[in-house]
Structures are given as structure tokens and as C-alpha cells.
Amino acid sequence: MHEGPSSHLCELAEGRLDTATGQRSVFALRDISPGEVIAVFGGSIVDAAQLAALGPGVGNYTIQVDEELYLVSTSDGPGDWINHACDPNAGFRGQITLVAMRSIARGEEICFDYAMADGSPYDEFACGCGSLRCRGRVTGDDWKDTRLWARYAGYFSAYLARRIAMLEAAREEFRSAAPRRMVRRVAGRPRA
């Protein structure tokens, strides 16, 4: 059995500890092309009640992977150190694989938007990422922002992509039903 950190960070990146602030981050060791795999998250799967029982702070080591299901890192490592940003350069392929969303230059910090993975309020925090797109606060409802649907299309965690597809289908149904309702109303008018 492999005795290493739960999450795998590929050799194209490395974790760094800022000894002054205690902040842990992940940086690109070389130029990375769109679609390249950066990390694969691992650990133990827990449900919402089990996650709550683990107490505060566990959110830092947790990724939601499906409805009411969470992946908790059980052995810390640099793969767990990838920070949130509101204007990220990485996103999901599936539920646990992080890939480059665009070209990433050597030395650049690798980040993803936690809205790509989180669909419940277990890990909400104030954000100071400094981006012009910074939302100020990261919440479990951020995935509902339709601007993010367009920006992160193809990079949401699979279960959130499914939620979004269902909402988009409902909106499309509403849109295509609207003219029919109008026609019915016109048709129902008494003839002069």
C-alpha cells in the first residue's frame, strides 16, 4: 500500500510554505498547457453528518464530490494546498482531477474557484484574492451564479455540472413555453 499524502500533486507543480504568514500554496514549476492534469485529490469519503462531526477547520482539507458527499484528505500534502481564487487558472475534470483551464506560466500560483466544487455551505470564507472579479465572500451558493456557468463551462465538478445542466434545461423549457402561452392567450380572446 502506498504510504503518502492523500492527494497527488503532479511533478509540474510544487507546494510552498510562506514561513512569515504560514500560508501554503502551489506554484507551477514549468509552463503548463490547457488540459494538463495538475493534481488528483484523494482521501476518505464522508457524508454531511460525518463531515459536521469532524469539526471546524476540516473544510480546508475537504472537497465536495457529490450530493451530500465529501472527500476529506486523511494525510496532508502539497496536493491539499491549492488555494481558492475568484479568477482561477485551473478547474475540474470529473470530481477529483484538477486540470489547467488555460496556459499557466512557470512560477504562477495555481488556483481554482471553490465554487467549481462546493455546492453546500461547509466551507465559507472571506476572500482577498485581489482579482477584479473577487466576490469578497466565497459561499456554498456561488455555483448558482450564471456568469460562472459561462466562465467555467466544462470545469465544474461533475455533480455541479449536472445540477447546472438541469437548471439550464428548466430555463430553456420556460423560454420555449413562453410564446405558446402568449399564443393561447391571444387564441382565447373572444372574437370581435
8 and 40 Cβ atoms separated by less than 8 Å: yes
Q: Minimum CB separation from Zn ion for residue 147, in Å?
A: 14
Return the closest-CA partner of residue 111 out of 4, 32, 1.
Answer: 32
For cell 481564487, name the residue: 85
Q: Minimum CB separation from Zn ion for residue 138, in Å?
A: 7
Q: Minimum CB separation from Zn ion for residue 129, in Å?
A: 3
Dihedral sign (CA 169, 175, 179, 181): positive
The distance between the two most distant Cα atoms of the chain, rounded to a whole number of Å, is 83
Residues that bind Zn ion (CB under 5 A): 86, 127, 129, 134
Which residue, 10 or 129, has its beta carbon nearer to Zn ion?
129
Which residue, 48 or 129, has its beta carbon nearer to Zn ion?
129
Which residue, 129 or 158, has its beta carbon nearer to Zn ion?
129
Q: Minimum CB separation from Zn ion for residue 85, in Å?
A: 6
Which residue, 37 or 129, has its beta carbon nearer to Zn ion?
129
* Residue 17 exposure: Cα atoms within 13 Å on the Cβ side: 4
